[in-house]
Amino acid sequence: MRPAEQQRVVVTGVGAVTPIGSTIADMWDGLVHGRSGVDYIRRIDVSTFPTTFGAEVRDLAPERLPSEPALLALLDRKNLFGWLAAGDALADSGLLGPERPDRIGVSIGTESRRPDFLSQLAAGALYLNTEDHLRYSPFVLAGALASRHELSGPQLTISTACTSGTQALGVAFQKIRFGEADAMLAGGCDSLIDPLMLTGFGLLGALSKRNDEPSRASRPFDLHRDGFVLGEGAGMLVLEELEHARARGARIYGEVLGYAATSNAYRVTDSPPDGQGAYLAMKNAIDDAALGPEAIGYINAHGTSTYQNDRSETVAIKRCFGERAKRVPISSTKSMMGHLVNAGGAVELIVCLLTIGHGIITPTINYDTPDPECDLDYVPNVARRQPVEYALSNSFGFGGINATVVVGRASE
């Protein structure tokens, strides 16, 4: 049971930039209607690559971009997504201009990466100025957001691959829960569609090669899945102590109830067949929420559309939920948005909150042929109207890192 002295944490603002919509409303509409954001890559020439498609963000209106040249020079593509999503989340929350900025912090899941490294190296143009050095530093977005919005509480940058966004949220949750902050802007951002990532993940055999029909390439839990789809985007949330939110009359999307992180202690790039680390992450998060498995009404799966990951996660869900596993609705939004990696967990937690709020479970699209070893309810192809009180979001990453968050409807 949760100690009585721990603070309750709610979500009062959300923002997202995704391949199926760069606003929350557009993203949700795309998810509910099963719209794929996967198509042939346009930003770079991929004609010589084994995989020629991805999930790109294509609908950013020019008027949404920052007008300051210095800021544009500082933010690379992934951080620009994060900046926009964070601004939307803060505006949505009404937390702008806080009375105690020292009690408001920032926690960002991301990483440092130079997609143009090889071309710049060949041109002898690396690090010619301060902006170029900062642009590819992992801490730059958290620092820029704290500076712009005068948030002088805890500032954190977390880089744990596919779990970065979820862990950034989990740590932010703990900061508020244990009284170290009143509110935290938290989430993740990423943009993986570049030659280095296409090459690296391609060599690992992790990417789908369904070049003849990109929109059907991401097919979590389907028997004929052949790999995941690279994506890009950002998800940001404002987490806030319950009474702090109530005192200012904030809208509450839901309550963050539990968080857990584990390690597979297995192979760096493989999921264990017994799902041990994922099972422990789910079990511990549910325990942390002071709930039982029977309370969970929806699981947003990590569901990458890779052969091994989907089977391992299915085994883990069965271990955690027992006989009830086949009655819990599960879906993978990666079927529509691709794998947003550092941003994925944050976007998917927003989906869980919207699911609770709207009473609609988004589908797993491209689910045509069941895999006998993936035999749970993956909400195939069509959204489902169903009330959900508590939802669970899974993120599992390279290196054997697992993180799970449990959210619920905010009760009195």
8 Å CB contact between 144 and 71: yes
Neighbouring residues of 88: CB distance < 8 A, sequence distance ≥ 6:
13, 14, 15, 16, 23, 24, 236
Residues 61 and 132 in one domain: yes
Residues 108 and 231 in one domain: yes
Report the alpha-carbon distance of residue 184 to residue 89 in Å, rounded.
11
Residues 179 and 214 in one domain: yes
Instruction: Tell me whether residue 162 is one of the annotated catalytic residues.
Output: yes
The domain boundary residue, chosen from 247, 281, 314: 247
Among 110-114, 149-153, 166-170, the range scoring the smallest mean pLDDT is 110-114
| Catalytic site residue from 162, 189, 352, 374 | 162
More confident residue, 112 or 343: 343
Residues 316 and 350 in one domain: yes
The domain boundary residue, chosen from 247, 268, 287: 247
Q: For the chain, first and last CA: distance in Å?
A: 18
Residues 235 and 265 in one domain: no
Residues 84 and 46 in one domain: yes
Among 8-12, 56-60, 332-336, 398-402, the range scoring the smallest mean pLDDT is 398-402
pTM: 0.95
| Catalytic site residue from 302, 320, 352, 374 | 302
* pLDDT reading at 407 higher than 60: yes
CATH number at residue 103: 3.40.47.10
| Catalytic site residue from 189, 339, 352, 374 | 339
Structural domain that includes position 104: 10-247
Residue 284 covered by a domain: yes
* pLDDT reading at 96 higher than 90: no
Could you tell me the CA-to-CA distances from 247 to 95, 214, 242, 349 in Å, in that order?
Answer: 12, 48, 9, 25
H runs (alpha helix) in 208-303: 242-247, 276-288
Mean pLDDT computed over 47-56: 96
Residues 240 and 318 in one domain: no
- The structural domain count of the chain equals 2
Three-class SS state of 319: helix
Residues 204 and 303 in one domain: no
Instruction: For residue 54, give the amino acid letter.
Output: G
Among 236-245, 266-275, 370-379, the range scoring the smallest mean pLDDT is 266-275
Residue 3 covered by a domain: no
Residue 411 covered by a domain: no
- The mean predicted confidence, pLDDT, of the chain is 93
Radius of gyration of the chain (CA): 20
Residues 222 and 295 in one domain: no
Report the alpha-carbon distance of residue 225 to residue 189 in Å, rounded.
26
Instruction: Tell me whether residue 302 is one of the annotated catalytic residues.
Output: yes
Token pair belonging to 338: 């691709």
Could you tell me the CA-to-CA distances from 53 to 40, 174, 200, 218 in Å, in that order?
Answer: 4, 38, 15, 11
Residue 387 covered by a domain: yes
